Amino acid sequence: MTDALTGFCLLLIVVGMVPTLMAFAQFVVIGWHGLRNHYSQCRDYTPRVAFVLPAWNEADVLGSSIDSLMSIDYPAGAWRIYVVDDASTDHTPDVMREKMAQYEGSVFHLRREKGGQGKAHTLNHGIRLILEEGWAEAVMIMDADVLFEPLTLRRMVRHLADPKVGGVTAYVKEGSYPGSLLSRYIAFEYITAQAAARRAQNVMGGLACMAGGAQLHSRENLIAIGGAIDTTTLAEDTFTTFKTQLAGRRALFDANAIVWAEEPDSVTALWKQRVRWGRGNLQITKAFRELWFHPNRSALFGNIGFGILWFSVALMPAFALLGSFGLVGLYYLWPAWAWEAFSVMWSFTFFSYLFQTLFSFAIDPAASRRAWFEGLTFPGLLAIAVMVTAVIGLKPFADGDWKHPQYWTLRDIAVQVILGWTAISTALAYGVYRLDKAGAPKWLRDPLLVLVGYGPLLCAIAVGAIIAEVRNADLKWDKTIKSGKARIQT
């Protein structure tokens, strides 16, 4: 019985390592993008592009977005901006009147008198009219606050010269100015989650998500996927990405095409935004349940690597919890093996962390100069201490001679905290969120976030998303409030 339980705990530890192993594998693949990318199939192609901006009370950011879009480097008259106003109650109509006069014939205001159905419905209103009009050869779905660098559109459209490509997404960078600790964490996160991970996905042949902030579709692709985007889930951008690929066209990421966006500046706002994203991913997992791991039904979803990667992100907290249970359980069953397992697991995590962090700095040196501290402390200072414990050993916690826990001594407790750190840090990150929600000042929240880590916070948010989805909470589109702080940062 003890042997079976020990084996089970070891299995849990291996399962708990899946997200770390997948993240590492993904980073290893990235470099191949230098040798195997789509640039060789690009051509000089500048189709007529319609930008669709869904807007609900975006008056503070719309003006600068439109100005940014109208100053891009692209053939004159070959792009237009359609702002789909979801019955805004602020002065969005006034901003639009001003901008339409300023950019006559290039900026259009499509107002819905009855709104409130969410972003996807708002976008569909604009997409339907644009497709009916027939002018646009490509459609750029984006957010109202996103700022385009002058050459971003040229970088994106060149891929559409290849008829096998249906959609292209850009690298959305965090552009809040002045920045904050949280915005710099997000900036670093976007290096790993976009500039790094999506390059790897390009190599692997299937993109998990074309960012909703800059999602370019060929007209043919948009029509092929039904002429509208999904309204049944909270992750319409991911759904559209999957439909594009299921319809037989490629979805690509161009890391050199850069746009800037303002991201949440409080943990509470981040929680709201990411729970929506997390729930959307879970809904998509369910919506395509017949395809995962079935290569005969879908090349993309049937791909084992892509499937494990997807589930390791969508169900990250479950993996973390299982790994922690496995280690603590092993400590009770076979303490010496617990030390060995802990040492191997966290030493690998340390070298993987070192590799991913340094490589992320190299992938985007400009963003890393701004967010180097946040990159180094991404897993949390306490997690780094746990890694160091595993790598170099710190008596009395890691002398390699752990005994069966007999009493609740300080050492026993400390060892169990270290072994269960992945799960414990997730719970502590939830505490940071609750503190922020309760109105804790930044001088208290920020040091706690550095100690506990931004990574565990994302894990805690994923738990929140799973709970909300299981409880079938309202499917409302909780818009992230933007204040116009984003700048194109060079």
CB of 34 to another protein, least distance (A): 3
Contact 259, 172 (CB under 8 A): yes
Asked whether position 103 contacts another protein by CB under 8 A, the answer is: no
411 touching another protein, by CB under 8 A:
no
Backbone φ and ψ of 358, nearest 5°: -65, -40
Among 15, 21, 28, 481, binds another protein (CB under 8 A): 28
Do residues 109 and 19 touch, judged by C-beta distance below 8 A? no
Side chain identity, residue 25: A
- Does residue 354 interact with another protein by CB under 8 A? yes
Handedness of CA 95, 98, 102, 105 (dihedral sign): positive
Residue 10 CA neighbour count, 13 Å, CB half: 15
Residue selected from 99, 119, 155, 217 as contacting another protein according to rule CB under 8 A: 155
Write out the two tokens for 413.
């407790």
In the complex, minimum distance from the CB of residue 317 to another protein, in angstroms, rounded to a whole number: 28
206-245 binders of another protein (CB under 8 A): 219
Query: For residue 76, which amino acid is it?
Result: A
Whole-number Cα distances in Å, 475 to 17, 54, 239, 300, 483: 32, 18, 16, 27, 25
Phi first, then psi, for residue 169 (nearest 5°) are -120, 160
Cβ at position 44, least distance to another protein in Å: 4
Site residues for another protein, 252-311, by CB under 8 A, read: 254-256
Query: What is the Cα–Cα distance from 479 to 486, expressed in whole angstroms?
Result: 17
Is residue 435 a contact residue for another protein (CB under 8 A)? Answer: no
Phi, psi of 455 (to 5 degrees): -60, -50
Report the residue number, 319 or 353, with the smaller CB distance to another protein. Answer: 353
Nearer to another protein, 34 or 441 (CB): 34
Report the b/e string of 10-32 with b at 16+ CB within 10 A.
bebbeebbbbbebbbebbebbee
Least separation in angstroms between CB 472 and another protein:
35
Q: How far is the CB of 251 from another protein (least distance, A)?
A: 18
100 binds another protein (CB under 8 A): yes
Among 15-23, 250-258, 413-421, 469-477, the segment contacting another protein (CB under 8 A): 250-258
Helices 421-437 and 454-470 sit at what angle, rounded to 10 degrees?
80
Q: Which is nearer to another protein, 110 or 315 (CB)?
A: 110
Region of 40-48, 206-214, 268-276, 328-336 interacting with another protein (CB under 8 A): 40-48
Chosen residue from 44, 407, 438, 443 binding another protein by CB under 8 A: 44
Among 1, 4, 35, 410, which residue sits at the site for another protein (rule: CB under 8 A)? 35
* Alpha carbons 102 and 120: distance in angstroms, whole number: 28
Between residues 355 and 373, which has the closer beta carbon with respect to another protein? 355
Q: Please, what is the end-to-end C-alpha distance for the chain in angstroms?
A: 62
Percent helix, percent strand, percent coil in the chain, to nearest 5 = 60, 10, 30
Q: How far is the CB of 326 from another protein (least distance, A)?
A: 23
* 32 interacts with another protein by CB under 8 A: yes
* Shortest distance in whole angstroms from residue 351 CB to another protein: 5
Q: Using the Cα atoms of residue 360, residue 366, residue 369 and residue 371 in order, give the sign of their dihedral.
A: negative
Q: 30 or 62: whose CB is closer to another protein?
A: 30
According to the binding rule CB under 8 A, does residue 75 interact with another protein?
yes
Residue 454 CA to residue 313 CA, distance in Å, equals 15
Q: If DSSP codes are grouped into helix, strand and coil, which group holds residue 42?
A: coil
Choice from 14, 151, 269, 488 touching another protein (CB under 8 A): 151
Q: Are 169 and 177 in contact (CB under 8 A)?
A: no
Least gap, CB of 354 to another protein (angstroms): 6
**Binding residues for another protein, per CB under 8 A?**
28, 30-35, 37, 39, 42-48, 73, 75, 80, 82, 85, 93, 100, 108-113, 129-130, 132-135, 137, 151, 154-155, 158, 160-161, 199, 219, 254-256, 347, 351, 354-355, 358-359, 362-363, 391
